[in-house]
Amino acid sequence: MEEENTSDKNDKKNNKNEKKIRKHILDVFKNKDLVVFSNYLYYLSYFLYFIVIILLTVLYWKTHLGQDAKFQTYIQVLMAATIIMTVYSVYLQQVTFRETANYNQLNNFDSNFKELLDDTLKFFIDNPEMNYYYEELFYNTSDYKEEDRNKNLETQFSFIILSRVSNIIYSFYIYGNKFTEKNDRIQQSEATLKNILDSFFNSKIFVAQWNSYKQGLATEITKQYIKDNFNK
């Protein structure tokens, strides 16, 4: 029984090691490792081109070996391998360039979304006299007097919020359908944004600021998005 248990443990350990090895091999073809691999392949193909030229120049033209059928076959195989490697390396470089561009776009999207949340909270922390606006934005309570409002700060901060929102909406519109691998992540972020804006558009102050922003600063994409989702 002990030997069987030991054997089972060893099998499980070997399976884990095999999975780790497979994962490591797959990681070579991801992200920056793929860039390194494609570059090595690209330079190796040029090195093979150089070898072919040397062999053709030195051996084919200057010795009788160039007339040997086997030698000609080797040269043809080497040239074919070189061409295949060159094509594949170019393909990998295109893939890595596209993935890098997508990765950077997603990072920009995440950065815009984080700035919206962080800057909103930081503004109210730094300006406690604006808590009435915070209560109205997030809790939809309007317990304040008109004379206690700071309308200049309301406008300035509302326009900052709407500018951040506009950048995020643009990201949804331009990039949202391109990242099949990250689609769930974008959909979750968009759902969060809709929840936030749904609360904000229940604020009469924010609605008034949106109407002002819409007249001169909002893009057509932002206007359409707000109209479709919030009827504003």
What does the pLDDT average to over 184-209?
Answer: 87
DSSP letter (8 states) at residue 147: G
What pLDDT, on the 0 to 100 scale, is given for residue 62? Answer: 63
Grade residue 4 by pLDDT with cuts at 50, 70 and 90: very low
Tell me: the pLDDT tens digits for 43-87?
Answer: 776 677 677 677 666 666 666 665 667 767 777 777 777 777 777
Q: Is residue 194 part of a domain?
A: yes
Say which range, 169-173, 174-178, 197-201, has the weakest mean pLDDT: 174-178
- Whether residues 138 and 57 share a domain: the answer is no
State the amino acid at position 148 in one-letter form. Answer: D
Higher pLDDT, 220 or 72: 220
- Whether residues 50 and 136 share a domain: the answer is no
Tell me: the pLDDT tens digits for 128-151?
Answer: 999 999 999 999 998 888 888 999
How many other C-beta atoms lie within 10 A of the C-beta of residue 109?
23
- Whether residues 138 and 217 share a domain: the answer is yes
Top mean pLDDT of 26-40, 48-62, 113-127, 202-216 is at: 202-216
Say which range, 33-37, 103-107, 194-198, 228-232, has the weakest mean pLDDT: 33-37
What pLDDT, on the 0 to 100 scale, is given for residue 102? Answer: 65
User: What's the rounded Cα separation, in Å, for the pair 118 and 158?
Assistant: 14
- Whether residues 95 and 164 share a domain: the answer is no
User: What's the rounded Cα separation, in Å, for the pair 154 and 205?
Assistant: 8
User: What's the rounded Cα separation, in Å, for the pair 196 and 58?
Assistant: 73
Share of the chain above pLDDT 70, in %: 56
Higher pLDDT, 108 or 124: 124
Q: Is residue 106 part of a domain?
A: no
Angle at 171 between CA 188 and CA 165, to 5 degrees: 80
Q: Is the pLDDT of residue 25 over 70?
A: no
Q: Is the pLDDT of residue 33 over 70?
A: no
**pTM (two decimals):** 0.58
What pLDDT, on the 0 to 100 scale, is given for residue 79? Answer: 74
- Whether residues 158 and 207 share a domain: the answer is yes
What pLDDT, on the 0 to 100 scale, is given for residue 30? Answer: 46
Q: Is residue 122 part of a domain?
A: no
Q: Is residue 81 part of a domain?
A: yes
Residue that terminates a domain, selected from 55, 80, 99: 99
- Whether residues 181 and 224 share a domain: the answer is yes
- Whether residues 86 and 151 share a domain: the answer is no
What does the pLDDT average to over 4-29?
Answer: 47
- Whether residues 81 and 134 share a domain: the answer is no
Q: How far is CA 171 from CA 178, 222, 227, in A?
A: 11, 11, 17
Q: Is residue 109 part of a domain?
A: no
Q: What is the mean pLDDT of the chain?
A: 75
- Whether residues 78 and 151 share a domain: the answer is no
Range of the domain at 18: 2-99
**And the tokens for 178?**
């391109």
Grade residue 18 by pLDDT with cuts at 50, 70 and 90: very low
Q: Is residue 70 part of a domain?
A: yes
- Whether residues 132 and 43 share a domain: the answer is no
- Whether residues 94 and 145 share a domain: the answer is no
Domain count, the chain: 2
Q: Is the C-alpha dihedral spanning 171, 138, 119, 213 positive or negative?
A: positive
